[in-house]
Amino acid sequence: MKKFVVGNFKMNTTPSEFNVYLDEFLPRIKDCKANIMFCLPATHFCVAKSRLEATNIKFLAQNISSEEKGAFTGEISNVMVKDCGAYGTLIGHSELRKRLKETPESINQKIIRALAVNLKVILCIGETKYERSTKKTKLVLKRQLDTALKGLYENELKNIIIAYEPVWAIGTGKTPTAKEIENTVCDIRSIIAENFTVRSSEKINILYGGSITESNFGQFVKIKGINGLLVGGAKKKKKSFANICK
């Protein structure tokens, strides 16, 4: 099974800079077998659609609105993202949970909206430093997953990838050990099994994200139960990101 390598651009690069990024990045990953995806600002969709069409790289939004349409200035809807050619959307990134006070209920609404127009979802979950230090990781992940996946049918899970991103590991240079990630992924699968079935818990794809670099990514891809990586900072360097993909 091909591994996923997802690069989250966050609020970095202009569309013109992204164009130049692709000039250098695309030749480097020509024969790469990984399932590569970019999570992009909406301003980059036009460039992405024309430049990535002939490649195997898919692009996703970093967020969508929980509303269908109407007076929601600054927001972007599921159909808008779909119409631009996006393959899917990230939902529930901790930076949005924190800065924009995203709630578990709005995350659930966004997932339902994404699936309604055939957008794939990368659902981000993860515990804070405090939650980890008070041994609440499993409880927190359970709460996040129970609410986010509420009301979904089991067959919809094939359109969802879960990204385990401990909040304290994002952009800090700190990561859990491989054993800790393996145990947490096991917990995530058991929560999915409780909500759906064991079969669906075994099939769902789970990524790890948080302070992945060109020098440490090898230990994460090897972890049992991990199907790929969600990379932030390291994808700024085209060469590093291309090497991780390869």
| Amino acid at position 156, single letter | E
Structure letter (DSSP) for residue 156: G
Q: Please, what is the minimum distance in Å from the beta carbon of residue 168 to ligand 13P?
A: 10
- 141 to 200, contacts with ligand 13P by CB under 6 A? 165, 170-171
Work out how close the CB of 232 gets to ligand 13P at its nearest, in angstroms, rounded to a whole number: 2
Among 35, 109, 200, 211, binds ligand 13P (CB under 6 A): 211
The secondary structure element, H or E, covering residue 119 is none
According to CB under 6 A, which one of 22, 86, 125, 230 is a site residue for ligand 13P?
230
| DSSP secondary structure, 35-104, as one string | EEEEEE-GGGHHHHHHHHTTSS-EEEES---SSSSSS-TT---HHHHHHTT--EEEE--HHHHHHS---H
214 catalytically annotated: no
Q: Is there binding between residue 5 and ligand 13P (CB under 6 A)? A: no
**Shortest reach from residue 147's CB to ligand 13P, in Å:** 20
By CB under 6 A, name the one of 44, 210, 226, 245 that touches ligand 13P: 210
Q: Which helix (H) or strand (E) holds 8?
A: strand 4-8
Give the residues lining the site for ligand 13P (CB under 6 A): 8, 93, 165, 170-171, 209-212, 230-234
